[in-house]
């Protein structure tokens, strides 16, 4: 073999070796794919997704399915370049920058923990929205979601405590609690009236200065709902806030005579506010694929996702725009009876 041929052979081998090594190097991307689809009026692991106690319920049929997105990758388990390339070539998945899912400095455990909190909050908001739609009264207080390690509230205030007053003055929402705490100078004491396990307690905390110099005690708060009957939602290993709309519809279907679906397999997505407004979510393309694969023919879509969804909707899946829970109910009524208008994404 000539020297020139040997040089070309070695160079080719080196390029090939570097290409193989490079293909398996980790890259800061995440692969999103269709995740599990669960029927909110059905069962998961032989247990009803929605269980209502203390209120009459009615039979249901068909499906009102929530849809999810599975991801591969992340700071602790980065995908390699070859996996990313396969994802870019697969029309059923999306490859997105890692920071889309994981904010800088956050690990997989923190993301999972946040998803669990968001799921819990979503279930409470979904129940509140359903009861609002049915004009069933409930009460809302100020609940403790978490405390910041090392701050005054840590160890003295507990998750799920309800804050009822600050320095003896009743409070109606978390903004009122924050305003009352900020009225103190850092280092001064503040007294929180809390309800814990049905017992009223006064908790005295010494305030400190926050990052911007504001007075804080290290609390994360949110609405704490008290409903007139028990609504339990169990979906297994699913997190995040995007199932809110479908939870609300499942609760409504169980609490009202007749069947919302008319026996059809309906899927959808969207966050929900206690007042019924439906919010946009991520991974809409993968969720629609999951819905179609599960046999759904109707897909309830948040207005903020309509444009993207219209560009990627699978054949045989009809998009129905759901601005609010009430609009979603009217749309399902129209689909079932053939009377009334059905809002579409194409119509804006």
Query: Catalytic amino acids?
Result: 242, 287
For residue 86, give every residue at least 6 positions away whose Cβ sits within 8 Å of its Cβ, in sequence order, or none: none
For residue 348, give every residue at least 6 positions away whose Cβ sits within 8 Å of its Cβ, in sequence order, or none: 306
Tokens linked to 47: 């247990």
267 membership: H or E segment, kind and range: strand 265-268
For residue 13, give every residue at least 6 positions away whose Cβ sits within 8 Å of its Cβ, in sequence order, or none: none
DSSP letter at 24 equals: T
Distance CA 307, CA 313 (A): 10
Torsion angle, CA of 336/338/340/346, rounded to 10 degrees? 90
Distance CA 124, CA 131 (A): 11
């Amino acid at each position: 073999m000539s020297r020139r041929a040997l040089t070309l052979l070695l160079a080719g081998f080196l390029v090939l070796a570097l290409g193989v090594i490079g293909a398996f190097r980790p890259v800061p991307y995440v692969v999103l794919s269709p995740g599990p689809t669960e029927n909110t009026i059905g069962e998961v692991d032989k247990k009803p997704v929605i269980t209502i106690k203390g209120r009459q319920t009615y039979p249901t049929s068909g499906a009102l399915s929530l849809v999810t997105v599975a991801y591969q990758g992340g700071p602790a388990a980065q995908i390699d370049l070859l996996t990313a390339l396969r994802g870019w070539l697969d029309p059923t998945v999306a490859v997105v920058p890692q920071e889309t899912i994981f904010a800088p400095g956050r690990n997989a455990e923190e993301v999972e923990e946040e998803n669990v909190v968001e799921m819990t909050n979503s279930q409470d908001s979904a129940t509140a929205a359903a009861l609002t739609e049915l004009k069933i009264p409930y009460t809302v207080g100020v609940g403790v979601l978490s405390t910041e390690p090392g701050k005054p509230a840590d160890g003295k205030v507990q998750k799920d405590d309800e804050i009822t007053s600050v320095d003896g003055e009743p409070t109606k929402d978390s903004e009122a609690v924050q305003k009352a705490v900020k009225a103190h100078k850092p280092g001064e004491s503040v007294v929180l009236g809390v309800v814990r396990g049905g017992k009223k307690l006064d908790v005295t905390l010494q305030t400190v200065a926050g990052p911007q110099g504001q007075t804080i005690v290290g609390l994360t708060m949110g609405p704490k709902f008290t409903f007139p009957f028990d609504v339990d939602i169990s979906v297994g290993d699913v997190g995040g806030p995007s199932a809110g709309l479908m939870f609300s519809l499942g609760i409504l279907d169980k609490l009202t005579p007749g069947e919302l679906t008319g026996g059809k397999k309906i899927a959808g997505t969207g966050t929900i506010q206690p007042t019924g407004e439906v919010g946009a979510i991520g991974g809409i393309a993968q969720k629609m694929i999951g819905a179609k694969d599960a046999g759904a023919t109707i897909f309830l879509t948040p207005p903020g996702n309509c444009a993207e969804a219209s560009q990627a909707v699978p054949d045989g899946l009809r998009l129905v725009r759901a601005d609010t829970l009430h609009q979603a109910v009217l749309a399902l009524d129209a689909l079932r009876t053939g009377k009334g208008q059905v809002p579409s994404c194409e119509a804006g």
